Amino acid sequence: MKKISFLLLILTSLNLYAESNTFVQLEGSLLYQTRNVQRIPGNGGTQFDLSDFKQGAFEATRLYLGKIFNDRHEWRLLYAPLEIDLKATLPGTVQFNGQTFNAGAADAYYKFNSYRLTYAYHYKPIQEWKLALGATAKIREAEVKLSQRGVVSSKKNTGFVPLLNFQAIRPIAEDWNFRFDFDGLAAPQGRAFDISTLVEYKSQKHFSILAGYRMLEGGADNDKVYNFAFLHYATVGLRGDF
């Protein structure tokens, strides 16, 4: 709640600008993981895949708060928490973050919280397409933990990730829109991609219903950690434009 209140405070301060409109978008999803490979440390740990223990469905939420100034300049904040608890069965001995875990039952925990600030410039429409291009500053708060009969080891990591942002909106029928949203970037050290395709129905003047698919893919490969995940979201949401 404190994190959401902080986002609301920032948005309220932006509201001092007169020629602007505010939007709020809340999403709820069923999440499935088809890949969530971990090896810690990256140059000496045992590789295992959290998706082998359970693929889903897990619950996930995200909240967008934003403003668009003069129909061109968009600033938005994202809060996207993600935590997964798993009952694992290790197929063999696992060396993880300096601890040894034996084959058999264990508990696993995965956290990947995302906090983002995006600026995007909205271009004049091209035929029926409305396009925007910008950049995202992302803070990711990650943790992987294994527990087994009193042996516990946890690897936490918080870091900054710069991303590119691209948005596309197109009407597909009266009161219906197609929305595409992309945050992503790749580098030799790793990559991060967050892509959504949503159908929007304008149910009232200021409110819309959203539904569609989102994918989150990426990870890092270095001496300290090797982790790559591929997550899929069946998403529904509500959006308010004021």
What percentage of the chain exceeds 70 in pLDDT? 92
Task: Tell me, yes or no, if the pTM score tops 0.75.
Answer: yes
Token output for 57: 């469905």
Q: What is the pLDDT of residue 15?
A: 47
Q: How far apart are CA 110 and CA 89, in angstroms?
A: 15
* Structural domains in the chain plus CATH codes: 2-241 (2.40.128.90)
Q: What is the pLDDT of residue 2?
A: 53
Contact residues for 164 (Cβ-Cβ < 8 A; gap 6+): 133, 134, 135, 136, 182, 183, 184, 185
Task: Tell me the pairing of strands 176-187 and 104-122.
Answer: unpaired
Rg of the Cα atoms in the chain: 20
Q: How far apart are CA 79 and CA 241, in angstroms?
A: 18
pLDDT digits over 148-196, tens only? Answer: 999 999 999 999 999 999 999 999 999 999 999 999 999 988 999 999 9
Question: 74: burial class by Cβ within 10 Å (0-12, 13-18, 19+)?
Answer: buried
Confidence of residue 205 (pLDDT cuts 50, 70, 90): confident
pLDDT digits over 77-98, tens only? Answer: 999 999 999 999 999 999 999 9
pLDDT digits over 46-56, tens only? Answer: 999 999 999 99
DSSP state of 51: G
Q: What is the pLDDT of residue 218?
A: 96
Instruction: Determine the residue type at 177.
Output: N
Contact residues for 2 (Cβ-Cβ < 8 A; gap 6+): none
Mean per-residue pLDDT, 214-241: 96
